[in-house]
Amino acid sequence: MNWSAIAPIGMLFGSNLVMNFAWYGHLKAPSRALWLAVLLSWGVAFFEYCLAVPANRIGSQTYSLAQLKTIQEVLSLTTFVLLAWFLFGQRPTANMAVGFALIATGAFFIFKAPLS
Protein backbone atom coordinates (compact mmCIF):
# COMPACT_ATOMS: atom_id res chain seq x y z
CA MET A 1 0.00 0.00 0.00
CA ASN A 2 1.09 3.55 -0.57
CA TRP A 3 1.24 6.49 1.84
CA SER A 4 -2.09 7.94 0.70
CA ALA A 5 -3.78 4.64 1.61
CA ILE A 6 -2.21 4.08 5.04
CA ALA A 7 -1.67 7.58 6.48
CA PRO A 8 -5.35 8.63 6.44
CA ILE A 9 -6.35 5.58 8.47
CA GLY A 10 -3.77 6.30 11.18
CA MET A 11 -4.59 10.00 11.19
CA LEU A 12 -8.34 9.33 11.34
CA PHE A 13 -7.78 6.91 14.22
CA GLY A 14 -5.94 9.62 16.14
CA SER A 15 -8.52 12.21 15.14
CA ASN A 16 -11.39 10.08 16.42
CA LEU A 17 -9.60 9.24 19.65
CA VAL A 18 -9.10 12.95 20.31
CA MET A 19 -12.68 13.82 19.30
CA ASN A 20 -14.26 11.13 21.45
CA PHE A 21 -12.18 12.43 24.35
CA ALA A 22 -13.45 15.96 23.62
CA TRP A 23 -17.06 14.72 23.54
CA TYR A 24 -16.96 12.46 26.59
CA GLY A 25 -13.84 13.24 28.64
CA HIS A 26 -15.54 16.09 30.50
CA LEU A 27 -17.93 13.55 32.03
CA LYS A 28 -15.08 12.53 34.35
CA ALA A 29 -15.41 15.96 36.04
CA PRO A 30 -19.18 16.63 36.19
CA SER A 31 -18.77 19.30 38.87
CA ARG A 32 -16.94 21.66 36.51
CA ALA A 33 -18.99 24.43 35.00
CA LEU A 34 -20.65 23.53 31.70
CA TRP A 35 -19.17 26.58 29.96
CA LEU A 36 -15.69 25.38 30.97
CA ALA A 37 -16.41 21.87 29.68
CA VAL A 38 -17.52 23.36 26.36
CA LEU A 39 -14.47 25.60 26.12
CA LEU A 40 -12.06 22.78 26.96
CA SER A 41 -13.80 20.42 24.52
CA TRP A 42 -13.48 23.01 21.75
CA GLY A 43 -9.79 23.36 22.56
CA VAL A 44 -9.30 19.61 22.33
CA ALA A 45 -11.35 19.46 19.12
CA PHE A 46 -8.89 21.84 17.44
CA PHE A 47 -6.31 19.04 17.50
CA GLU A 48 -8.87 16.64 16.03
CA TYR A 49 -9.23 18.96 13.04
CA CYS A 50 -5.44 19.13 12.71
CA LEU A 51 -5.55 15.38 12.02
CA ALA A 52 -8.90 14.98 10.25
CA VAL A 53 -8.49 17.66 7.60
CA PRO A 54 -5.12 16.42 6.29
CA ALA A 55 -6.30 12.81 6.61
CA ASN A 56 -9.21 13.54 4.28
CA ARG A 57 -7.05 15.60 1.93
CA ILE A 58 -4.47 12.80 1.64
CA GLY A 59 -7.08 10.04 1.69
CA SER A 60 -9.06 11.54 -1.18
CA GLN A 61 -6.16 10.57 -3.45
CA THR A 62 -6.93 6.89 -2.80
CA TYR A 63 -10.46 6.58 -1.41
CA SER A 64 -13.86 7.82 -2.52
CA LEU A 65 -15.68 10.22 -0.19
CA ALA A 66 -18.04 7.41 0.85
CA GLN A 67 -15.07 5.21 1.70
CA LEU A 68 -13.38 7.98 3.70
CA LYS A 69 -16.59 8.62 5.64
CA THR A 70 -17.00 4.89 6.28
CA ILE A 71 -13.42 4.63 7.58
CA GLN A 72 -14.08 7.63 9.84
CA GLU A 73 -17.32 6.17 11.23
CA VAL A 74 -15.84 2.73 11.91
CA LEU A 75 -12.87 4.34 13.66
CA SER A 76 -15.20 6.63 15.60
CA LEU A 77 -17.05 3.62 16.99
CA THR A 78 -13.81 1.77 17.67
CA THR A 79 -12.25 4.66 19.56
CA PHE A 80 -15.52 5.27 21.42
CA VAL A 81 -15.53 1.68 22.69
CA LEU A 82 -11.88 1.99 23.76
CA LEU A 83 -12.50 5.32 25.53
CA ALA A 84 -15.67 4.08 27.26
CA TRP A 85 -13.85 0.96 28.41
CA PHE A 86 -10.55 2.44 29.57
CA LEU A 87 -11.74 5.83 30.84
CA PHE A 88 -15.17 4.90 32.23
CA GLY A 89 -14.89 1.14 32.80
CA GLN A 90 -17.82 0.37 30.48
CA ARG A 91 -16.87 -2.94 28.93
CA PRO A 92 -18.22 -3.85 25.48
CA THR A 93 -21.34 -6.00 25.60
CA ALA A 94 -22.71 -8.70 23.30
CA ASN A 95 -25.40 -6.29 22.09
CA MET A 96 -22.74 -3.76 21.16
CA ALA A 97 -20.82 -6.46 19.29
CA VAL A 98 -23.92 -7.40 17.29
CA GLY A 99 -24.72 -3.75 16.52
CA PHE A 100 -21.17 -3.00 15.45
CA ALA A 101 -21.09 -6.18 13.35
CA LEU A 102 -24.14 -4.89 11.46
CA ILE A 103 -22.39 -1.57 10.91
CA ALA A 104 -19.28 -3.44 9.73
CA THR A 105 -21.48 -5.31 7.25
CA GLY A 106 -22.59 -1.96 5.85
CA ALA A 107 -18.95 -0.84 5.65
CA PHE A 108 -18.13 -4.01 3.71
CA PHE A 109 -20.61 -3.04 1.01
CA ILE A 110 -19.15 0.48 0.74
CA PHE A 111 -15.76 -1.03 -0.15
CA LYS A 112 -17.07 -3.92 -2.25
CA ALA A 113 -17.16 -3.61 -6.02
CA PRO A 114 -20.52 -2.38 -7.35
CA LEU A 115 -23.31 -4.93 -7.17
CA SER A 116 -24.46 -6.09 -10.57
Query: How many CB atoms lie under 10 A from the CB of residue 96?
Result: 15
Number of folded domains that form the chain = 1
Whether residue 58 contacts residue 4, with contact meaning beta carbons closer than 8 Å, is answered with yes
- Domain-located, residue 116: no
What is the pLDDT at residue 1?
A: 65
In a domain, 87, yes or no: yes
Instruction: Give the domain range for residue 106.
Output: 3-111
State yes or no: pLDDT of 113 exceeds 80: no
Full-model pTM:
0.86
Percent of the chain with pLDDT over 70: 99
Residue 4: predicted pLDDT = 83
Question: Does some domain include residue 12?
Answer: yes
Task: Give the model confidence (pLDDT) of 87-109 as tens digits.
Answer: 999 999 999 999 989 998 988 88
- pLDDT tens across 48-69, in order? 999 999 999 999 999 999 999 9
What phi and psi values does residue 10 have, to the nearest 5 degrees?
-65, -40
Q: What is the largest CA-CA distance in the chain?
A: 56
